[in-house]
Chains A and B, each alone.
Chain A
Amino acid sequence: MIRFEDVSFTYPGASGPALSGVDLEVPEGELCLVVGRTGAGKSTLLRAVNGLVPHFSGGVLGGRVLVDGRDTRTNPPRELADVVGLVGQDPQAGFVTDSVEEELAYSMESLGLPNPVMRKRVEETLDLLGLADLRHRPLATLSGGQQQRVAVGAALTAHPKVLVLDEPTSALDPGAAEDVLAALHRLVHDLGMTVLIAEHRLERVAQYADRVVWLSSDGTVVAGDPGSVLASAPVAPPVVRLGQLAGWEPVPVSIRDARRRAGELRSSLGSPASVAPPVGAEVMRAADVRVRYGSVEAVRGVSLAVGAGERVALMGRNGSGKSSLLWALQGSGKRSGGEVLVEGVDPASLKPGPRRRAVGLVPQQPGDLLYLHTVGEECRQADRESGREAGTCRALLDRLAPGVPDDRHPRDLSEGQRLALVLAVALTPSPKVVLLDEPTRGLDYPAKTRLAEALAELGHAVVLATHDVEFVAEYATRVVVLADGEVVADGSTGEVVTASPTFSPQVAKVLAPLPWLTVGDVARALAAR
């Protein structure tokens, strides 16, 4: 269905190729997962399938890409719209119309399908993706998960033979991600659709894949059976790492396969020694915080006390009030009621300068914080505005992500480097508490591990909002679950995440009922034996 024949691609002005010597064949009815480090060219590969690369991006494409027998060199993306449906990284940015129903119909209108067909397909798609209640809703009012489902639906209504998705679950909470993936799984099995997915959160997707394509950083690919390819790739979900550690052959990719092999490991491991993490003196106390936008109450009376060195993860559905709470705690955002004290002072009463010395915040779009032209300038500006000696920010950056060149433009950094820079800027005044909103979006496993280690080493009190259960298991000491703006669970990471399957990391699922959380813990326990 999709065939890459010795494909190489170089972006205009780039020093090296983004793809080189790619030979790949994806047969019909297969769910194919593309993995690789950040910036390895996953998006480029996906966009080459429908001709956006090179027709839209510019650059030089060598070799040829055939989709359903059509060559992308002679067929621009609009002419391939009936064969390939593409769902981009940010669904909201790709919406053309403004209501759910019209968005679903848009591709069909472009293809000139007759009205009765469109009516039927829109109804089918609404049911397939569980969107029927939202059909008249304006797109802007939908939550992230709903928007993602609409974007998938909008690509589906044209009945393409190939569906290409770029990080379809990275912005979604675990529940919504399951919904989207279940829908995709059904499309592959019921309709024989060919699906190509790029994703960083492999723990969510790998189990559904029939084949994994690993793009290495020099632009070449290795394709094959999920277990064996993931085992050799630098990015792999925890279940694969656990399988490698325990020496299981073939390496399991799904929880089910792993659990069937894990009996021996479970009995030999025993329960982990429970160590209560030391909690320092209280640095932040929030009592009965409320945030209200018009008639909607986003945060309803949340109380939270954070001790020095504590690492609190805020979890919960898309739209459960996590971001609103973080902004209210920092003091720059809206707070309709309640009290926040950081070492006895309300940050909202401070001027922005002293406020960031009390509480630092890294927003969901970290790039918003950067506005100068080079990394070096950003670092010097951060030192100046924090009143710290020159070089403080640069030193922090080198600890978080070594080797970021001073003369690089912040926009040209990789996702992980940019996050490290913003984090360094936020940490320069060494605030008492650091708040992070979705810090792991777009980061691969090695980058996440480094972030976790660096943050743990620096020892600030941290509150982070995230959907990433694996990162939480690796890094957080305490988990607070929000639903509808209220706290529904609050406890140590081990207690909270093992209590519900939605928030469980893979290792906990495999080794349940033993409360092991990460591969690292298991490895240390085995090594100590």
Chain B
Amino acid sequence: MSGAVHPGAWWLWALGLAVVASRATNPVVLGLVVAVAGFVAVTCRQDTPWADSYDMFFKFGLAVLGIRVLFHVLLGGVDGPTVLLDLPEVPLPDWARGIRLGGPLTAEGLVFALCQGLQLATLLCCVGAANALANAKRLLRSLPAALYEVSVAVVVAMTVAPQLVASARSVRRARALRGDVVRGVRAVKLLLVPVLEGAFERSLVLAAAMDSRGYGRHAGLPTRTRVLTGFLVLGGLVGLCVGAYALLDGGSAGVPVLVVGAVPAAAGLWTGSRRVRRSRYRPDTWGTREALVVGSGLIAAVTAVLGPDLVMPTVPLTAPDLPLLPALGLLCALAPVLIADRKKP
């Protein structure tokens, strides 16, 4: 993948756009984010099997938008003075108080639901753009060496789903050869056993292959060091997860736990990386281009955080305006097109 921008840079860039999207319900800003992400993804993606994932995520986003609006129509939520349509309300029993089925549909509520759906769709587009530009698997390759074993396990697990689909298809085809049309609930029962059997056998073959090719080799490394490294890394990661959860939960324990977790994790990664005797073929490197890509995403995020409120006013309903600063920041996020485009193979 010579000349390709580091996958981590793309994910950070997409994260910057996602920060903008998460702060905005203004459809003009969100539309701009989708356009920027889409344009960069289409221009900078390389000739890889995952290059089409932006389209997939875009369609998925549209579906989410549709579902959000449908739910609003059915269940209501935000109301306003402008009633567009008065749907018949289904009376619900007492225990389901607070839930409304049907009822008046207002323009304000509809706009609110649309904007919220659009926000979700935009976030999905950011993930899709990152995926199209740098597959998650490639990102995993860049993890610290101490996490190598874990990252390989994750990569292998990620190939299982498409394999299961392929094997279910071949079993189903074979069943048709025996004059049996497999449909419905019975299909699950009949397909499950052979498909899982196949998956199990394949994973044994893969495990044998990985073993013979030196996976998990310790080449003279003392057992104590390996146990210590593993303990530090796992303990640290658990601490990090608990800390992050506490922080998001708003609890006061968040920061201390996070710090307590971070220290052993860092120590484990450090000792592990120092001692793991394996190397990486053509590692992705950080350079100016990576810095520029990340910087452009960062500018978009910072301008959105510093700039004016990006919330779509619904009561009273007014046309959304285009705040200048965040818009300029988002345009900065187009910079990768200039940097990375020439590197296309």
Contacts and interface: CB of A to CB of B under 8 A. Distances in A.
Nearest to A115: B279
B178 interface: yes
A105 interface: yes
Contacts of B49: 98, 138, 140-141
Nearest to B278: A112
A356 B212 contact: no
Contacts of A86: 209, 212-213
A382 B177 CA distance: 11
23 contacts: A52-B212, A55-B211, A78-B216, A81-B217, A88-B205, A88-B208, A90-B205, A96-B210, A98-B159, A109-B279, A110-B217, A110-B278, A111-B278, A141-B49, A158-B213, A330-B177, A333-B173, A356-B177, A365-B174, A369-B174, A371-B190, A385-B179, A385-B180
B179 A355 contact: yes
A94 B207 CA distance: 8
A490 interface: no
A118 B173 contact: no
B186 to A, nearest CB: 12
Nearest to B2: A136
A81 B181 contact: no
Nearest to B158: A98
Interface residues of B, number: 45
A330 B176 CA distance: 11
A332 interface: yes
A499 to B, nearest CB: 34
Interface in A442-495: none
Interface string B160-201: 000000000011011111111100000000100110000000
Contacts of A327: 173
A102 B156 CA distance: 14
Nearest to B213: A107
B212 A109 contact: no
A368 B194 contact: yes
Contacts of A96: 152, 156, 206, 209-210, 213, 215
Contacts of A19: none
Interface string A348-370: 00011111110011010100110
Size category of the binding interface on chain A: 35 or more
Given A78-B217, A109-B278, 19 more contacts: A76-B211, A78-B211, A79-B217, A88-B208, A96-B156, A98-B49, A101-B281, A102-B281, A115-B279, A119-B282, A158-B213, A332-B176, A333-B173, A351-B181, A355-B179, A365-B170, A371-B193, A371-B194, A385-B179
Interface string A85-107: 11010100111111001100111
A52 B281 contact: no
Contacts of B180: 352-353, 385
B316 interface: no
B210 A84 contact: no
Given A110-B278, A122-B281, A78 B193 contact: no
Nearest to A114: B279
A223 interface: no
Nearest to A122: B281
Contact of A81 (B177, B202, B213, B277): B213
B280 interface: yes
A95 B277 CA distance: 22
Contacts of A78: 211-217
B205 A94 contact: yes
Q: Is the interface of A mostly helix, strand, loop or mixed?
A: helix
Contacts of B211: 52, 55-56, 76-78
A410 to B, nearest CB: 11
B212 A77 contact: yes
Interface in A366-381: 368-369, 371
B23 interface: no
A154 interface: yes
B137 interface: yes
A57 B213 CA distance: 16
Nearest to A151: B209
Contact of B279 (A84, A97, A112, A330): A112
A368 B171 contact: yes
Given A81-B217, A110-B214, A361-B177, A93 B278 contact: no
Given A81-B213, A109-B280, A352 B176 contact: yes
A383 to B, nearest CB: 12
B219 A369 contact: no
Interface in B207-234: 207-217, 219
A35 interface: no
Nearest to A371: B194
Interchain residue pairs A-B with the least CB separation, the first 5: A110-B214, A81-B214, A94-B209, A105-B281, A368-B174
A425 interface: yes
A525 interface: no
Contacts of A47: 208
A417 interface: no
Nearest to A82: B214
A86 B281 CA distance: 21
A365 B195 CA distance: 13
Contacts of A79: 217, 219
A514 to B, nearest CB: 42
Given A78-B211, A96-B206, A352-B181, A363 B173 contact: yes
A93 B202 CA distance: 6
A356 B178 contact: yes
Given A332-B177, A356-B177, A385-B179, A109 B206 contact: no
Contacts of B178: 352, 356, 369, 382, 385, 425
Interface string B132-160: 00000100000000000000100110010
A14 to B, nearest CB: 17
B7 to A, nearest CB: 14
Nearest to B276: A112
Contacts of A60: none
A113 B279 contact: yes
Interface centre among B47, B194, B202, B279 (most CB of A within 10 A): B279
A82 B156 CA distance: 23
A150 B206 CA distance: 15
B185 to A, nearest CB: 17
A78 B219 CA distance: 9
Nearest to B177: A361
Contacts of A332: 173, 176-177
A356 B214 contact: no
Most buried by B among A52, A94, A158: A94
A113 B201 CA distance: 31
Of the listed residues B174, B190, B216, B281, the one surrounded by the most CB atoms of chain A closer than 10 A to its CB is B281
A138 B1 CA distance: 12
Interface in A17-68: 47, 50, 52, 55-56
Contacts of B170: 363, 365, 368
Q: Among the interface residues A84, A109, A357, which one has the most CB atoms of the partner chain B within 10 A?
A: A109
Contact of B281 (A84, A108, A371): A108
Interface in B245-298: 277-283
A342 interface: no
B4 to A, nearest CB: 11
Contacts of A81: 212-214, 217
